[in-house]
Structures are given as structure tokens and as C-alpha cells.
């Protein structure tokens, strides 16, 4: 009997979980249907704040008096949920589906996978973030990859950075993720003593990583349920 | 924000460096440059800096810090008369001081409306705005220069009572209407903040969003009331959203510029109006109901800066970064105490200062540091347990698919679906599976051998009244399928994938061929003869039968034809098959 095929998103998550597993990261999951509190408020994104415009949101109909719910717009709510449950120090990655209420095209999908990373300890620095991201990119994309940081803004990190990766084959830098040092308010909202602990967080689009690595032209192929996409790669077990 | 390089240059004596140097300076130290075209740059101002950087002065100020260039004529650092002015000729009535944080108004009489001078027209047009007349252009110029939205009303359209005009700031009444400058009529949601001619109780503007037609500046205007106000960010944001009327003014107000800025805006616009349109300032009024509390100092130690960034900056370097940023800094030992200037209201906690130092001195100076070993063993049990079930299914011939989470029907409904035909969250994976299987059967000849049938699975989240859960769906029953269970010791199989090979969107055609082999031929040779004669449209060749009878061998193949840029016809595939048959016959094959 012939063997089946594993979806490229699963292939990528396995590779990423393996790399981060060797750096001491656990893998955790969280709900896709999320509350306004975890998706926004606890992450220092208040209602009616312009920074909410960074996320086009699918809201879910709720009953009068019930807490507002939405399809999570990012995997970052798990920073709060996990820290509340587990406490610090900790290191996790969170792969999962996220939702954005925006028109789709070759590089935008309303549903896609994100990978959150979080490390909290007494002495974690931006240098450690650069360190793990460079190691991750070298292992995932190849040994010539290197990373650079640029200023950015996210309400739940301070300082915030944009991360570019160098691809020597194409001779260029590509923007691949947002990251930063966890905002002290986020730590406090999760019950962590921000005077004692600090940490970094990052979030990347898994489809984008897979598209760059294998040369996939259109993000809409991933969740189309079309087997021609899954069979579009020579797949070898390692 | 569209920025003109010539405009930025006005803040510097020395010529700005080349466009590439300026672009890199912004990119690596403050903001991305979305586009650069001659004099014009599109600067992607980050949300935390939208209070002070949606203007040329703010952008130039940051550039001065990045490149350490002397900054001249800073309009926000020159002294200003900043008091509670009153005027017998102009009054302001504010209904709610939490919604209108400050209102500076001025009455100017005897202005001459006309086209703007060339420098002003060019400045406004250089950033893609339309020049209207000297008064309107003056208000827009000040906004684009220092970030304070402004407005001018025709005073002759307002009612004077006891020799005074009265500007009102109040919430809209039920079903109150206004026609804006663009001629559009809006029925306002109750409470929308309005600017009114209080003496006549007529709305003359939607506060912080857009002016009204009633008191529009025309060529006949001689007397004007100028507004430089500050409105609550949430109120303005909601109004612009509800009316679907985002404007340059609402964009700025929703980002909470300092109310202090309003006085600077009035000072600058009055000077400009008198310069280009003449007139006499009859009176200025400044109502400041919720004067901001004193600006809070923020302190951070050198150790904390280095400990968060993972760098080794010296005390002198950090002090120099604050100097370049023009931040009022006291240094006590190794602690820096900053009193942010009023427009930098984004600086509130020590981490904000750390970011300022990091970006000015450069994140390229953050060295790569390996994480020390983790205190606890990583827990990947749940994930590994899920992957174990996937590996079981793959061993049993199933292929993983991924489908959309929204469905026609379900227990939980979206309030704002993108695709109105799929307003629900999927309560089952089976609907998508049915559809995917139908398509998989149709496309099977492209990816599977003729004797294989597609078998699919999906592991994904479903949403029911009882909450969400991870479901496993297979296209047919699987004997012995294990349930998902945590399994820390399972090692998910790793795969190496080759580069992606796109598929054609055009239809494909399949043909089968069966043949008796001549005695000197074998399977491999037969394949190559078929391939050599099939041409570029053969995308798949599968042998699906083989038997021997009376010393002769029979083979059967399936050929799949498809083009990447058009639909192939039966006739052209028939011609290809004919060519293959002839080539085989010539080599003594017996095609059946």
C-alpha cells in the first residue's frame, strides 16, 4: 500500500518544534475562539485604541451581557494564558491557526498559521532573542541565513522589533516576523512580577516561512483542501 | 505619511544626505519608508509615534537625532504665550471637557481670500494635497508642519450676539444633520461631537473630523474664526468610524496628540494668515478645561538598559542618545531621569526609554547571545500525541489536507463574516471532507497511480455549543485508529521536501495503452519509448498492469496530458497517442 502525504504546514511545524525543542521550548496549544480580554485587553491593546486597527477582526455573535468573543487574530493570547497557568520562568512556542478579516490575495489569507515564541526568565535579553532567531533561521533556511532587527511597534512588546532574514541565494533581506521584549504590563496582566522577570516574544507566519523555503507562489493554496498542493513537493522521510 | 524632502530640509542648515542614506537612517532607527520618489517619501509612522510624527517637524526631529544633525527653528521649542486667553468678541462653550480637552479660537477680520503664494502651493502639492485658497492652505500647512489639525470658519455666516461670536462644542441631538464641506449630508449618531454656532444653534463642523458647508470659507469671506483644538481620541475615532469618514484631522486626533500643541498651532497659523492674507487679529480665546497634569519623569538605569537590550553601552553613549533626541535628561550616577517634551507623550515607562536608546544607537549593536540551558525539560506531549495520529494515518495511506474553518451552518455565528455564504464556525470537518474528497477523486490521475484511490484526513478545530475541540476526520473508516493522547516520547517523523512544483489550472486528459512487448524489450525501455514520443504535455506516466502469457509480456500504462497555458483538445492528444503507437509498432510492439 502507498503511504499518504503530510501537509506542508505540519512538515514545517515538526521541523520548527524540533529546532526549538532542542533549545528547551515546550509546545502548547490554545483556543481559536478567543475572548476580547485575552486577544486584546490583556495584551495592552485597549478598546478604541488605534493600535487595534493593526488587526482586522472576525467577531462572533454573543448574547447580551456575555463577554465579547472573536476568532483570535494572533497566537499572542497564549502568552497570557500560559503565564497565568504555568508562571515563570518558561519557554514555549505556540503554533496555531489565526484569523484576519481582510480581503485575500496571493500573500494574504483570512485564515493562516502563526507561531508564537515566548521566553521569560530573570535575565533574558534582546541579545538572546537575536541569538535564538539566528540559530532557528540557520537551521530552517540554511547556514548562510542571518538576522537583523529594525525598530517596530507592537502594544505587547517594548522595545519592539521587525526581524529580517538574509537570503544569500536571492541576495536580499526579507522581513519575516515581529518580535520584542515582553511589555511589563503584559507580564503583570498575567500575574508575573515584572520587576523580577523579563522576556522576549516573537510571532511569525508559518505559511510565509514555507512559501519562502519552497518557492510557493500563493498562500491561498494551503487551506484549499486541494491534494494537488500537498502532492506538489517531492516528500522524503528523514 | 507623505513627506517632502525639501520641507524636511527647512529644519537643517546643512544639506541632507542622499535619499538612500535618509531611507536607511529611518529604516534602521525609526520607521519604514514605503516608497521614495524624488522629493517625496512615504513614511510608515508607527502607531506609538503617531502623536508626534504625523508631521514634517516630527519626522525631521527624528532624523536629526538619528543622523546627529543640528536642528534649527524648532517650532515647539520657541517660547509661547500659553495662557487662558479670553476675548470679548469670541466665546467658547464646551459641554463636556472630557471630550473637548482644549479649544483655542481666534477671530480675524479683514482677510483677503485668494490663491496661496507659490511656495505654499508647492509645499502643499508636494505632499499630494490640493491647494484650495490661502486660508485653508494655511491651516493645512500648519497641520502638515507640526501636526495640529486646524479649521477656519467664515465668521460672517455666524450670528453675533452682544458683539460676540460663540463657538459651541456639544454632542449631536437625535437625528441632527450636517452637510460637510464636500456637500455630503450626514444624519449624525446621537452624541457625535459637533462644533456649532452657539448663538444660532447651528452645527458648523463635525469636531475633529470635517468642517461644515454652512460656514465654508469662500472668495467673499472677510472675517474668520480659526480653530485649534484638541478632542478626545476615542470620541473622534468612533465618529470617523461611524460616519465612515476618516480624514487627515481624525487620523491625527485619534492618535492623541498633546493638547499643548493647540497653542503652537494657533500661533503659527495666525502668523501665516497675516503674512499671506492680511487681516487683524481681533481676539484669541483659549479654553483648557482639562489641562494635562505635569509631565511625569521617567527614570532608567544604565544596568537596566544594558540588561534588557543585551548590550554594553557606556554611560556616555546613552547620555548622547538622549541629547540627540533632545530629551531633557538628568544624570545621577548611572541613572537617567528624563522629562519628556510634551509632544513625546509615548514615553511613559523605563522600557520606552530603553527603546529610544536601542533604536538610536542601533539594534545592529545587539550581539547574538545563546540562551542558557532551560531550567526545565520541555513539554511537547500534546503536540507529539497529535502528530502520532497523523503518522498513523499516513502509514495507512491517508493524505493530510487543511480546509477553512468557516461553514454554511454551525452553532456559532460570525458577527461580520467576510464571505456571507459561510457565516458560521464549522461544527464538523465532514462537510469540507466530502467536498475535498470529490475534488481529490477528480484530480487523482494527476497525483496517484491508476490503482490507488485518494484517502484523506484532516485534524482541525471544530466549534459546537459545548466549546471548541480538536477533531479527526478521515475520508473512510480506519480500523485501529488511535485516539489523540499526550505522548512525550513519540518522535514525529521529519520530512525533507523538495521545491514546490506548481500545478496547471487547465483540464487534463488521460489515455491508457496496453501492449505486448517484443522479446528484447523490458519495462524501462518501454517507458522511455513512450516518453520520447509523448512530448511536453505528458505530465505523468504510470504502469498499472503487467502479466506474462505464453512467453510474452503484456504491459499497460496510463498517460496524463496537460498544458500549463491552455486546454488541450482530444484531437491533439489523439495525434500524440498515434505517434506513440507508431513508434512502438516500429519497434515490434503489439499495441492492443
Each residue of B297-324: pLDDT tens digit?
A: 999 999 999 999 999 999 999 999 999 9
Q: Show residues of chain A in contact with B309, CB under 8 Å.
A: 125-127, 159
Q: At CA B203, angle to CA B199 and CA B204, rounded to 5?
A: 95
CATH number reported for the structural domain that contains residue B543 in this entry: 3.30.70.380
Cell numbers for B492, please give them: 514525529
The answer to whether residue B370 sits within a structural domain is no
Specify the pLDDT at position A55.
85
CATH number reported for the structural domain that contains residue B162 in this entry: 3.50.40.10
- CA-based nearest residue in chain A for residue B367: A127
Q: Give the whole-number percent of chain B exceeding pLDDT 90.
A: 92
Are residue B159 and residue B227 in the same domain, yes or no? Answer: yes
Specify the pLDDT at position A48.
81
DSSP H or E segment with residue B310 = none
Q: Show residues of chain A in contact with B352, CB under 8 Å.
A: 158
Chain A with chain B: Cβ pairs closer than 8 A: 296
The answer to whether residue B332 sits within a structural domain is yes
Q: Show residues of chain A in contact with B303, CB under 8 Å.
A: none
Are residue B212 and residue B305 in the same domain, yes or no? Answer: no
A219 vs A9, A100, B24, B65, B268, CA distance in Å? 11, 14, 30, 40, 50
Cell numbers for B546, please give them: 503487467
Are residue B562 and residue B537 in the same domain, yes or no? Answer: yes
Are residue B455 and residue B585 in the same domain, yes or no? Answer: no
B574-589 confidence digits (pLDDT tens): 999 999 999 999 999 9
Pairing of strands B424-425, B406-407: antiparallel
- B34 part of contact set with chain A, CB < 8 Å: no
Q: Which CATH superfamily is domain A8-230 in?
A: Bira Bifunctional Protein; Domain 2 (3.30.930.10)
Treating both helix axes as pointing N-terminal to C-terminal, what angle do B302-309 and B315-324 enclose, rounded to 10 degrees? 90
Are residue B306 and residue B259 in the same domain, yes or no? Answer: no
Of B62, B77, B52, B64, the closest CA to residue B12 belongs to B64
* B495/A14 Cβ within 8 A: yes
Q: Give the whole-number percent of chain B exceeding pLDDT 70.
A: 99
Cα(A10)–Cα(B12) distance, integer angstroms? 54
Q: Say if CB A193 and CB A48 are below 8 A apart.
A: no
The answer to whether residue B371 sits within a structural domain is no
Pick from B237, B447, B496: CB nearest A228: B447
**B552: Cβ contacts below 8 Å, ≥ 6 apart:** B516, B517
Give how far B254 is from chain A: nearest CA, Å: 7
The answer to whether residue B388 sits within a structural domain is no
Specify the pLDDT at position B82.
67
ipTM for the predicted complex comes to 0.96
* Local structure of A225: helix, strand or coil: coil
Report the number of distinct structural domains present in chain B.
5
Evaluate if residue A108 carries a pLDDT over 90. Answer: yes
The answer to whether residue B111 sits within a structural domain is yes
Q: What residue numbers bound the domain in which B580 lies?
A: 509-591
Evaluate if residue B293 carries a pLDDT over 90. Answer: no
* B382/A27 Cβ within 8 A: yes
Are residue B216 and residue B248 in the same domain, yes or no? Answer: yes
Are residue B431 and residue B336 in the same domain, yes or no? Answer: no
Domain boundaries, chain A: 8-230
The answer to whether residue B132 sits within a structural domain is yes
Lowest mean pLDDT among B139-148, B160-169, B287-296: B287-296
A160-219 confidence digits (pLDDT tens): 999 999 998 889 999 999 999 999 999 999 999 999 999 999 999 999 999 999 999 999
Are residue B132 and residue B264 in the same domain, yes or no? Answer: yes
Specify the pLDDT at position B289.
87
User: In what order do the strands lie in the sheet containing A69-71?
Assistant: A33-35, A69-71, A59-60
Which residue of A90, A100, A126 to mutate against B (max B Cβ within 10 Å)?
A: A126
Are residue B276 and residue B407 in the same domain, yes or no? Answer: no
The answer to whether residue B462 sits within a structural domain is yes
Q: Show residues of chain B in contact with A8, CB under 8 Å.
A: 497
Evaluate if residue B84 carries a pLDDT over 80. Answer: no
The answer to whether residue B481 sits within a structural domain is no
- B536 part of contact set with chain A, CB < 8 Å: no
Specify the pLDDT at position B83.
66
Are residue B113 and residue B166 in the same domain, yes or no? Answer: yes
Find the mean pLDDT for residues A52-62.
89
Cα(B258)–Cα(A48) distance, integer angstroms? 18
Q: Show residues of chain A in contact with B31, CB under 8 Å.
A: 151
- B479 part of contact set with chain A, CB < 8 Å: no
Are residue B121 and residue B250 in the same domain, yes or no? Answer: yes
Find the mean pLDDT for residues B196-207.
96
Specify the pLDDT at position B86.
86
Are residue B180 and residue B243 in the same domain, yes or no? Answer: yes
Cα(B446)–Cα(A227) distance, integer angstroms? 10
Amino acid at each position: 500500500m502507498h503511504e499518504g502525504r503530510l501537509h506542508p504546514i505540519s512538515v514545517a511545524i515538526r521541523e520548527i518544534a524540533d529546532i526549538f525543542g532542542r533549545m528547551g521550548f515546550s509546545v502548547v496549544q490554545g483556543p481559536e475562539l478567543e475572548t476580547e480580554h485575552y486577544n486584546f485587553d490583556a495584551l495592552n491593546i485597549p478598546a478604541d485604541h488605534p493600535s487595534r486597527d493593526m488587526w482586522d477582526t472576525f467577531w462572533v455573535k454573543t448574547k447580551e451581557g456575555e463577554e465579547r468573543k472573536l476568532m483570535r487574530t494572533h497566537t499572542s493570547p497564549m502568552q497570557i494564558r500560559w503565564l497565568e497557568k504555568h508562571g515563570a520562568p518558561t519557554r514555549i512556542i505556540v503554533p496555531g491557526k489565526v484569523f484576519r478579516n481582510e480581503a485575500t490575495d496571493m500573500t494574504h489569507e483570512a485564515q493562516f498559521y502563526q507561531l508564537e515564541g515566548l521566553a521569560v526568565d530573570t535575565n533574558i535579553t534582546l541579545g538572546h532573542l537575536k541569538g535564538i532567531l539566528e540559530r532557528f533561521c540557520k537551521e530552517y533556511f540554511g547556514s548562510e541565513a542571518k538576522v537583523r532587527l529594525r525598530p517596530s511597534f507592537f502594544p505587547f512588546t517594548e522595545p519592539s522589533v521587525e526581524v529580517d532574514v538574509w537570503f544569500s541565494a536571492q541576495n536580499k533581506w526579507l522581513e519575516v516576523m515581529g518580535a520584542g521584549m515582553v511589555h511589563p504590563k503584559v507580564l503583570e496582566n498575567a500575574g508575573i512580577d515584572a520587576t523580577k522577570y523579563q522576556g522576549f516574544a516573537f510571532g511569525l507566519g508559518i505559511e510565509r516561512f514555507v512559501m519562502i523555503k519552497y518557492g510557493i507562489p500563493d498562500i491561498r493554496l494551503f487551506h484549499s483542501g486541494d491534494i494537488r498542493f500537498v502532492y506538489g513537493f517531492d516528500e522524503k522521510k528523514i | 505619511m507623505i513627506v517632502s524632502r525639501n520641507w524636511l530640509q527647512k529644519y537643517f542648515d546643512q544639506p541632507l544626505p542622499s535619499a538612500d542614506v535618509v531611507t536607511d537612517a529611518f529604516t534602521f532607527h525609526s520607521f519604514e519608508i514605503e516608497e521614495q520618489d524624488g522629493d517625496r517619501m512615504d513614511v510608515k509612522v508607527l502607531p506609538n509615534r503617531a502623536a508626534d510624527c504625523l508631521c514634517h517637524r516630527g519626522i525631521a526631529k527624528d532624523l536629526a537625532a538619528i543622523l546627529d544633525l543640528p536642528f534649527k527653528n524648532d517650532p515647539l521649542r520657541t517660547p509661547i504665550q500659553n495662557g487662558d486667553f479670553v476675548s470679548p468678541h469670541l466665546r467658547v462653550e464646551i459641554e463636556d471637557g472630557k471630550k473637548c480637552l482644549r479649544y483655542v479660537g481666534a477671530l480675524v477680520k479683514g482677510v483677503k481670500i485668494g490663491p496661496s503664494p507659490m511656495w505654499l502651493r508647492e509645499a502643499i502639492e508636494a505632499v499630494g494635497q490640493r491647494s484650495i485658497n490661502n486660508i485653508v492652505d494655511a491651516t493645512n500647512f500648519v497641520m502638515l508642519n507640526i501636526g495640529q489639525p486646524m479649521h477656519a470658519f467664515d465668521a460672517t455666516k455666524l450670528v453675533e450676539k452682544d458683539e460676540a461670536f460663540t463657538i459651541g462644542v456639544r454632542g449631536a441631538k437625535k437625528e441632527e444633520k450636517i452637510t460637510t464641506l464636500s456637500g455630503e449630508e450626514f444624519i449624525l449618531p446621537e452624541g457625535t461631537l459637533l462644533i456649532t454656532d452657539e448663538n444660532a444653534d447651528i452645527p458648523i463642523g463635525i469636531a475633529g473630523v470635517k468642517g461644515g458647508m454652512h460656514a465654508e470659507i469662500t472668495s467673499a469671506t472677510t472675517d474668520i474664526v480659526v480653530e485649534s483644538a484638541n478632542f478626545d481620541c476615542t470620541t473622534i475615532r468612533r465618529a470617523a468610524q461611524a460616519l465612515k469618514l476618516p480624514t487627515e484631522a481624525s487620523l491625527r486626533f485619534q492618535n492623541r496628540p498633546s493638547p499643548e500643541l493647540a497653542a503652537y498651532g494657533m500661533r503659527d497659523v495666525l502668523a501665516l494668515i497675516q503674512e499671506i492674507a492680511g487681516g487683524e487679529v481681533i481676539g484669541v480665546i483659549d479654553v483648557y478645561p482639562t489641562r494635562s497634569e505635569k509631565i511625569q519623569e521617567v527614570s532608567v538605569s544604565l544596568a537596566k538598559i544594558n540588561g534588557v537590550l543585551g548590550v554594553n553601552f557606556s554611560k556616555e553613549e546613552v547620555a548622547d542618545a538622549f541629547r540627540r533626541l533632545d530629551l531633557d535628561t538628568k544624570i545621577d550616577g548611572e541613572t537617567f531621569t528624563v522629562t519628556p517634551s510634551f509632544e513625546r507623550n509615548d514615553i511613559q515607562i523605563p522600557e520606552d526609554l530603553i527603546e529610544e536608546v536601542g533604536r538610536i544607537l542601533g539594534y545592529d549593536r545587539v550581539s547574538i547571545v545563546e540562551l542558557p540551558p532551560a531550567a526545565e525539560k520541555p513539554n511537547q506531549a500534546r503536540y507529539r500525541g497529535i502528530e502520532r495520529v497523523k503518522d498513523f494515518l499516513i502509514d495507512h495511506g491517508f493524505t493530510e489536507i487543511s480546509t477553512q474553518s468557516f461553514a454554511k451552518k454551525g452553532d456559532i455565528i460570525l458577527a461580520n463574516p467576510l464571505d456571507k455564504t459561510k457565516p458560521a464556525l464549522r461544527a464538523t470537518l465532514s462537510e469540507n471532507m466530502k467536498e475535498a474528497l470529490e475534488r481529490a477523486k477528480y484530480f487523482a490521475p494527476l497525483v496517484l497511480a491508476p490503482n490507488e484511490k485518494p484517502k484523506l484526513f484532516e485534524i482541525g478545530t471544530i466549534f459546537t455549543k459545548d466549546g471548541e475541540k480538536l477533531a479527526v476526520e478521515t475520508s473512510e473508516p480506519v480500523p485501529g485508529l488511535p485516539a489523540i493522547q499526550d505522548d512525550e516520547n513519540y518522535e514525529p517523523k521529519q520530512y525533507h521536501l523538495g521545491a514546490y512544483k506548481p500545478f496547471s489550472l487547465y483540464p487534463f486528459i488521460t489515455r491508457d495503452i496496453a501492449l505486448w512487448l517484443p522479446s528484447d524489450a523490458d519495462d524501462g525501455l518501454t517507458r522511455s519509448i513512450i516518453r520520447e514520443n509523448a512530448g511536453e504535455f505528458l505530465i505523468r506516466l504510470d504502469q498499472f498492469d503487467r502479466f506474462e502469457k505464453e512467453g510474452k509480456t503484456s504491459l499497460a500504462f496510463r498517460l496524463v496530458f496537460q498544458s500549463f497555458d491552455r486546454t488541450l483538445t482530444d484531437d491533439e492528444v489523439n495525434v500524440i497517442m498515434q505517434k506513440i503507437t507508431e513508434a512502438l509498432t516500429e519497434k515490434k510492439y503489439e499495441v492492443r
